[in-house]
Amino acid sequence: MSKTQVIVGLGSCGIAAGASKVYNKLQAIKDMGNVDFILKKTSCIGMCYKEPLVEIIDENGSFLYGNINEDKAAELIQEHILNKNPLQNYVVKSELFKTGEEDFFESQVKIVLRNCGYIEPEDINEYIARTGYEALKKIAKNNISREDIIKTVKDSGLRGRGGGGFSTGMKWQFAYNYQSEEKFIICNADEGDPGAFMDRSVLEGDPHSVIEGMIIGAYAIGANQGVIYCRAEYPLAIKRLNIALAQARERGFLGNNICGITGFNLDIYVKEGAGAFVCGEETALMASIEGERGMPRKRPPFPAESGLWRKPSNINNVETFANIPWIIYNGAEAYAKYGTPKSAGTKVFAVTGKISRGGLVEVPLGITINDIIFKIGGGIQNGKKFKAVQLGGPSGGCIPAYMGDTIVDYDSLSSTGAIMGSGGMVVMDETTCMVDMAKFFLDFTAKESCGKCTFCRIGTKRMLEILTRITEGKGEEGDIEKLEELSYKIIDNSLCALGQTAPNPVLTTIKYFREEYEAHIRDKKCPAKKCRALLTYTVIEDKCTGCTVCAKNCPTQAISGERKMVHFIDQDKCIKCGVCFSKCKFEAISLT
């Protein structure tokens, strides 16, 4: 290596944390000409909890630095490059010494994320250097038939990573079976839950892997047109996708007679969506592409027979397509060795919430929830207790801590009431109110309902009203039963997966945390001390010093007392704002 490389993580997460300022600082140092190094960009590296991230690669190896700001960036150049003195206090990953962050990487297996954080996403040459487009070339060179490609995908055990978990190979087979002069291959990059962070990161960090997967899928089913449906709120992903598509056309990976395969003609374009959650459902997505309101259609006919513009179509999501080149290049057996017999391969999760190491992780299916949270994620923040994890996005279910040994695969998660979804994993600690959490997720799905189905449109609102009453201390006996009854009515009478899964957070929290609902309704108490209307603030006499800080800051003058005397809170005036609790330096305010 002739020069030291300095690589800055410039995915959306890094940019939000200040990585652009770090990059500009490094560029300014480079422009001064006092030190010579190659400055490069990459995307999300996965360690979102350590952003901004800067990697330095020199003759001694790779050093990944975390929590870098402009001042630290200048320090890195001075000490690491000029003085040959790596700053171990900032290093979060290195092959030369331990950093204390090894567990974050140890259990991961990167297939979908194989290039994210390793390549410049706007440079096709870097993708090609890491076996990019080799799977497509393998098909062309060995004259692999469409039937054999589909068989390979079937044999790999790959299931759709968009939520439903249907066999990808079988889905391709259905589209292949319908003959038409015009067929479509569609990538769903519009899913609006926490797992969509994963989709966005892959599109930002490795757009060519998705494009290559789509090209292979198009060849397998006989499609000649491709669409990537991406929400407009992902401007960086859209920018890099369009750059990658232009590069693929220039290199002959898109166009006519691709890779010398006579008659294989394909182009792909990006369709920007408005970010509607319902457009994660494939028929609603196609309606949106056609310029109609994004609403689900009755099935049958299924998209494989009559999809976009009523032509045979196949839809997979970003993660599914990103797996395809790896499977074709390495073989079905190599992929199937990961995971479980019915859930092969790996899964990417966007891990967030009350967890020490939040970020993007890719793990083999079959790993336990506890291993993800405690080994990779470093456990719960601030020494709190693990209470529950919500899996599958807003429509997912909440799994209690005592079921932490549940393995992560499609069937095991479904048996708990949760779903795999597109990979959202929200971790909760003992301070989380499960009734409030159910209300939070239902509020999202109720607002995102397209309104076509009466039970989804109105039923979710009625459920939200009940949950709101409960958290405000106005819950009544029978409310739990009403929630359950409404849930099953909505599930049974909704046309698409939005309505069919929207009640999941409510049903699972009732199933596993029913006592919290009962405490809210019968005792008018929130065990997690989260719901403001159910809290009572009182002064602890033994701790009160009479400093008057609480009284001075109370917005309703509900606190009285002389200086250096014990104070008193008038419950009739108290609006439960919590200012006294947060301002008291002597922990003299009790919260019950």
With bands split at pLDDT 50, 70 and 90, how would you rate the model's confidence at 108? very high
- Residue 284 in this model has a pLDDT that exceeds 70: yes
CA-based max dimension of the chain: 91
Question: Do 372 and 352 meet the contact criterion of CB atoms below 8 Å apart?
Answer: no
CA–CA gap between residue 465 and residue 470 (Å, rounded): 9
Question: Do 439 and 464 meet the contact criterion of CB atoms below 8 Å apart?
Answer: yes
Question: Do 208 and 127 meet the contact criterion of CB atoms below 8 Å apart?
Answer: yes
Question: Do 467 and 506 meet the contact criterion of CB atoms below 8 Å apart?
Answer: yes
Return the closest-CA partner of residue 313 out of 289, 277, 278, 279: 289
DSSP-based three-state secondary structure for 232: coil
Tokens, residue 287: 């309606």
- Residue 2 in this model has a pLDDT that exceeds 80: no
- Residue 422 in this model has a pLDDT that exceeds 80: no
CA–CA gap between residue 513 and residue 491 (Å, rounded): 21
Q: Sort strands 91-94 and 61-65 into parallel, antiparallel or unpaired.
A: antiparallel
- Residue 193 in this model has a pLDDT that exceeds 70: no
Return the closest-CA partner of residue 283 out of 303, 300, 304, 268: 303
Which residues, 6 or more positions from 290, have their beta carbon under 8 angstroms from its beta carbon?
308, 309
Structure confidence by residue, pLDDT tens digits, 375-401: 999 999 999 999 999 998 888 999 999
- Residue 272 in this model has a pLDDT that exceeds 70: yes
Quote the mean pLDDT of the chain: 94
Cis check: omega of the bond before 505, within 30 degrees of 0: no
- Residue 194 in this model has a pLDDT that exceeds 50: no
DSSP-based three-state secondary structure for 339: strand
Q: Work out the percent of the chain whose per-residue pLDDT is above 70.
A: 99
Q: 548 or 421: whose pLDDT is higher?
A: 548
CA–CA gap between residue 458 and residue 446 (Å, rounded): 8
Q: What pLDDT, on a 0 to 100 scale, did the predictor assign at position 126?
A: 97
How many Cα atoms are found within 13 Å in the side-chain-facing hemisphere of 185? 28
Return the closest-CA partner of residue 156 out of 328, 372, 408, 7: 328
DSSP-based three-state secondary structure for 557: coil
Tokens, residue 161: 């990573």
Kindly list the structural domains of the chain, giving each domain's residue range(s) and its CATH number in brackets, ordered by start. Answer: 5-100 (3.40.30.10), 124-336 (3.40.50.11540), 340-429 (3.10.20.600), 434-523 (1.20.1440.230), 536-591 (3.30.70.20)
Tell me the backbone φ, ψ of residue 373, rounded to 5 degrees: -75, -45
Mean per-residue pLDDT, 144-163: 95
448-471 b/e (C-beta count within 10 Å ≥ 16 → b) = bbbebbebbbebbebbbebbbebb
Structure confidence by residue, pLDDT tens digits, 23-66: 999 999 999 988 999 999 999 999 999 999 999 999 999 999 99
Tokens, residue 188: 């769903």
Q: What pLDDT, on a 0 to 100 scale, did the predictor assign at position 395?
A: 87
pTM of the model: 0.93
CA–CA gap between residue 389 and residue 509 (Å, rounded): 11
Q: What pLDDT, on a 0 to 100 scale, did the predictor assign at position 1?
A: 43
Cis check: omega of the bond before 207, within 30 degrees of 0: no
- Residue 117 in this model has a pLDDT that exceeds 50: yes
Q: Is the dihedral of CA 39, 43, 45, 49 positive or negative?
A: positive
216-234 b/e (C-beta count within 10 Å ≥ 16 → b) = bbbbbbbbbbbbbbbbeeb
Q: What pLDDT, on a 0 to 100 scale, did the predictor assign at position 402?
A: 97
- Residue 247 in this model has a pLDDT that exceeds 90: yes
